[in-house]
């Protein structure tokens, strides 16, 4: 009878074949694991209705330095979503200062969602990344404890590549989002501030930049289920 097995298998004992098959399957699983990790799936959130109060917590990028108040990203986001977006940005704020301000903002506005975009001034002042991460985690935890949902916004890291106009998100934002299981808006500021036409200076957006940032943020809000349109 003709044997249609591969010649190598034909000369191999059945036990060896089974071992090789098992090793091959384990190799496939090992290769698939990192690929699955690369396709990070954001946590699903509860959709906010029109008119819901949203707190945008941050620094000068949130307050809108480089543009007018009505073209800062919280104002644009309010126009795009129909939410009431409170501009909680203070120019020059660090993560520690934003953390200190948060309790009164939560009490005053009782937001359904807090958008956290803070940390750039920590990096500019060469503060410890570990301290920034701790502050971010506390901000997100305190916001959730108030009953609000949280969306974390990644901030670019300082590097030689950043000086050349090639920006990338600081790794700690994805780490915090993964640890707390909260959605992350990535490559928003990195994408805007890497383009001369979208900047008012080296570290701030202009009106067109804030518009583009808000448009990208809306897409993340839809993907995570926070916004249904």
Of 63, 117, 169, 204, the catalytic one is 204
Nearest Cα to Cα of residue 75 among 57, 63, 90: 63
23-34 tens-digit pLDDT: 444 333 333 333
Residue 45 lies in a domain: no
Looking at residue 42, what is its pLDDT? 59
Residue 171 lies in a domain: yes
Residue 163 has pLDDT above 50, yes or no: no
Q: Where residue 82 falls among pLDDT bands split at 50, 70, 90? A: very high
Residue 24 lies in a domain: yes
**Both 19 and 104 in a single domain?**
no
Residue 87 has pLDDT above 70, yes or no: yes
Looking at residue 229, what is its pLDDT? 75
**Both 73 and 17 in a single domain?**
no
Residue given tokens 């501009």 in the structure block: 87
Mean pLDDT of 48-74: 97
**Both 132 and 172 in a single domain?**
yes
Mean pLDDT of 64-72: 97
Looking at residue 27, what is its pLDDT? 38
Of 68, 70, 159, 201, the catalytic one is 201
To the query of whether residue 204 is one of the catalytic residues in this protein, the response is: yes
> Total structural domains in the chain?
2
Q: Where residue 159 falls among pLDDT bands split at 50, 70, 90? A: low
Residue 187 lies in a domain: yes
190-207 tens-digit pLDDT: 999 999 999 999 899 999
Indicate which CATH number applies to the domain containing 151.
Answer: 3.40.50.1110
Which residues, other chains included, contact 94 with Cβ-Cβ below 8 Å and sequence gap of 6+? 59, 118, 119, 121, 122, 125, 127, 135
Percentage of the chain beyond pLDDT 90 is 75
List the alpha helices (DSSP H) in the chain: 7-10, 14-38, 60-63, 73-81, 95-109, 120-124, 129-145, 160-163, 171-180, 188-193, 207-224
**Both 57 and 28 in a single domain?**
no
**Both 190 and 85 in a single domain?**
yes
Mean pLDDT of 46-72: 97
Looking at residue 45, what is its pLDDT? 86
**Both 25 and 62 in a single domain?**
no
Between 112 and 13, the higher pLDDT residue = 112
Looking at residue 4, what is its pLDDT? 32
Looking at residue 24, what is its pLDDT? 43
Rounded to whole angstroms, the Cα distance separating 225 from 48 reads 9
**Both 97 and 31 in a single domain?**
no
**Both 126 and 173 in a single domain?**
yes
Between 111 and 20, the higher pLDDT residue = 111
To the query of whether residue 201 is one of the catalytic residues in this protein, the response is: yes
Which residues, other chains included, contact 74 with Cβ-Cβ below 8 Å and sequence gap of 6+? 56, 62, 64, 85, 86, 87, 89
Judged by DSSP in three states, 215 sits in: helix
Residue 47 lies in a domain: no
To the query of whether residue 128 is one of the catalytic residues in this protein, the response is: no
**Both 146 and 219 in a single domain?**
yes
**Both 15 and 123 in a single domain?**
no
Owning domain of residue 31: 7-37
Of 45, 60, 117, 190, the catalytic one is 60
Residue 2 lies in a domain: no
Nearest Cα to Cα of residue 89 among 59, 52, 133, 116: 59
Average pLDDT for the chain: 84
């Amino acid at each position: 009878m003709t044997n249609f097995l591969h010649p190598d298998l034909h000369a191999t004992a059945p036990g060896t074949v089974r071992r090789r098959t098992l090793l091959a399957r384990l190799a496939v699983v090992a290769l698939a694991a990192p690929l699955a990790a690369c396709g990070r799936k954001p946590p699903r959130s509860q959709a906010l209705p029109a008119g819901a109060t949203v707190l945008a917590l941050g620094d000068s990028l949130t307050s809108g330095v480089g543009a007018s108040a009505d073209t800062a990203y919280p104002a644009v986001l309010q126009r795009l979503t129909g939410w009431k977006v409170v501009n909680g940005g203070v120019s020059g704020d660090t993560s520690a200062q934003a953390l200190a301000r948060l309790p009164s903002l939560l009490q005053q506005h009782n937001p359904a969602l807090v958008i956290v975009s803070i940390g750039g001034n920590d990096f500019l002042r060469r503060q410890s990344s570990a301290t920034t991460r701790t502050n971010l985690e506390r901000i997100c935890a305190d916001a959730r404890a108030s009953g609000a949902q949280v969306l974390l916004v990644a901030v670019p890291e300082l590097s030689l590549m950043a000086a050349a106009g090639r920006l990338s998100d600081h790794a700690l934002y994805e780490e915090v989002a993964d640890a707390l299981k909260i959605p992350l808006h990535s490559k928003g500021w990195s994408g805007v501030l890497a383009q001369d036409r979208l900047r008012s200076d080296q570290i701030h957006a202009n009106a067109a930049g804030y518009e583009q940032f808000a448009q990208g943020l809306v897409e993340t809000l839809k993907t995570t289920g926070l916004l249904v349109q």
